[in-house]
Chains A and B, each alone.
Chain A
Amino acid sequence: MTNEDTVDEAVAIPTLNNEQEEPAVIAQIRSFSFGSRSVLRNVQLTVGQGEAVAVLGSSGCGKSTLVRLLAGLLPRGLGQHFDGDVVLSGVSPSIYRATGRLAVMFQDPTLLAHMSVEQNIGLPLQLLQREFSDDVQALLQLVGLHDFRRYLPRDLSGGMRTRTALARSFVSKPSLLFLDEPFAGLDLGWRESLYSSLQDLRRRYGTTIVMVTHDLEEAVYNSDRVLIMGGDGTFAEEFRVPGAIPRDYRFGETIARHTALLSRLAQLLGSPAMESV
């Protein structure tokens, strides 16, 4: 159930040894705690190459922590206890990061305030000591910020900042992208256009995506599989979303076809959001 329809468009990316045989992500998190507070436990996640997985959970259930653990950004410092293993395409997160093929889009756009839109998008190339390429211009066009390329982050709207962050997370042509509630707090129009940007970019680079979100429709629209996270920091259930990506958001058959799934998800999350559907 990976996206066969997009493989032919994927660009060739230098590969690690045996990369194609290894799943993109294998995570076995037995427990993770801040001091005495347990955040995650018994979370197991395997994501195939090119797959898009959404982790759905209400706020405060450890979603952001999960993303940081997968990216190897935690544990950090005293008081954090991690028992488990994370393997990305057969290697540890830090080794995988060093190959320059991981990107993370945080909940906050995390733009550097002293850099223009263009410089922010190109930042990963600088950090990875790669050549500044035409990709920056192409990405500026794609997210519709070409006219704003010289603007500073403080002069942008929230949606523009998020689009900048999205373009930045694709500039290094990542094989693996983690998204932490990237579109939270944006209005529907922006979200829809960012979803299609995300799918465009995904098709172009054949990227594996792990997205954590509390938004049902976002999860169903953007992924092949949806995992539900319970309030106690474990995975409760898993659903496979039928139909090829990209799905027509809201106006197509998607909603009708997925109504049962959506209301089941809503029920699990205890969310009133889907009652109107």
Chain B
Amino acid sequence: MRHDRTVCLTYTGTVLLVVPVWEWASRSSSGVRLLLSSPISIAGFINANAQDLLRATWVTWLEAFLGLLLAVGTSLTLMVLTFFVPRLMRFVMPAMIASQVIPLIVLAPFFVLALGIGVSSKVAMAAVLCFFPMFVGMAQGYRLIPQNVHDLLSVYEARTATRVLRAYLPLAMPSGMAGLKVSATLSVIGAIVAEFTGSEVGLGRNLFLSTIRLQPDLMMASLAGSAILGATMFWGVHLIEQRFGAWYLPASGE
């Protein structure tokens, strides 16, 4: 806990230092005011539009979360399938890599055209974007399982289902979790990018509007919202890891 307090103090100190400077700079320069708005102005904007902002944040969160769930579900299923049919990996991996070398963001308009401007096109975009790190993490975790472990399982002629449950999935968890953390933050980016292309409500739509309407207050408030979303997703995964990954995480100090 002592560390936590130091971290808290550092952050609070930084904020206390930056906010007055920011406020002063935006009062003395219209350029700064147009680009970055000012803390007081943003606070006023958030206060006046709290309900709309919350709604936008909620919708974007939902899109990102559903996208992440979809990606986790798909990559787990695919991974388990490759355990049963090892040769599948040789077909899956190249396709996966090919799908990553094209910038996936260009798919956003496609999803909006195909699935409409509702939630589903954003879920699809988020899922596509955050699928790869999770899957690659798990595949890598599986590859790192020592040959001796495979031999041990073979000595007892363990069935594939038993191997997957008792050994493969748990042992692939450390790198799977590392991938999932990247995926969790990418899911928010995916949802926002898809909202850029066309949507009725959401943080991405706010950000898009803020540029064409030159509304730095809206932009800053939405950026804060997306930062909070990303952090929430990351912390969610972190908490799950704390709960189930005690066997590989470093023991906590106390």
Chain A residues engaging chain B, CB cutoff 8 angstroms:
68, 71, 73, 94, 97-98, 100, 102-104, 106, 108, 110, 112-115, 123-124, 126-129, 152, 154, 172
Contacts and interface: CB of A to CB of B under 8 A. Distances in A.
A123 B248 contact: no
Contacts of B152: 104, 106, 110
B231 interface: no
Interface in B202-254: 247-248
Contacts of B154: 73, 97
A110 B155 contact: no
B171 A110 contact: no
Contact of B155 (A102, A126, A152): A102
Contacts, number: 60
B182 interface: no
Given A108-B146, A128-B156, A152-B247, A68 B151 contact: yes
Interface string B129-162: 0000000000000000010110111111110001
Given A100-B156, A127-B156, A108 B148 contact: yes
Given A100-B156, A112-B167, A106 B162 contact: no
A113 B173 CA distance: 11
Point out which of A103, A113, A115, A127 has the most chain B C-beta atoms below 10 A from its C-beta: A127
B149 A110 contact: yes
A112 B158 CA distance: 15
A71 B149 contact: no
Report, nearest first, the 3 A-B pairs whose CB atoms are least far apart: A127-B156, A127-B158, A110-B148
Contacts of B39: none
A136 B152 CA distance: 18
B55 interface: no
A104 B247 contact: no
B248 A114 contact: yes
B157 A98 contact: yes
Contacts of A106: 148, 151-152
A230 to B, nearest CB: 26
A22 to B, nearest CB: 20
* A98, A110, A152, A154, most chain B CB atoms within 10 A: A110
Q: Interface centre among A73, A94, A110, A114, by most B CB within 10 Å? A: A114
Given A106-B148, A112-B171, A127-B166, A97 B248 contact: no
B76 to A, nearest CB: 17
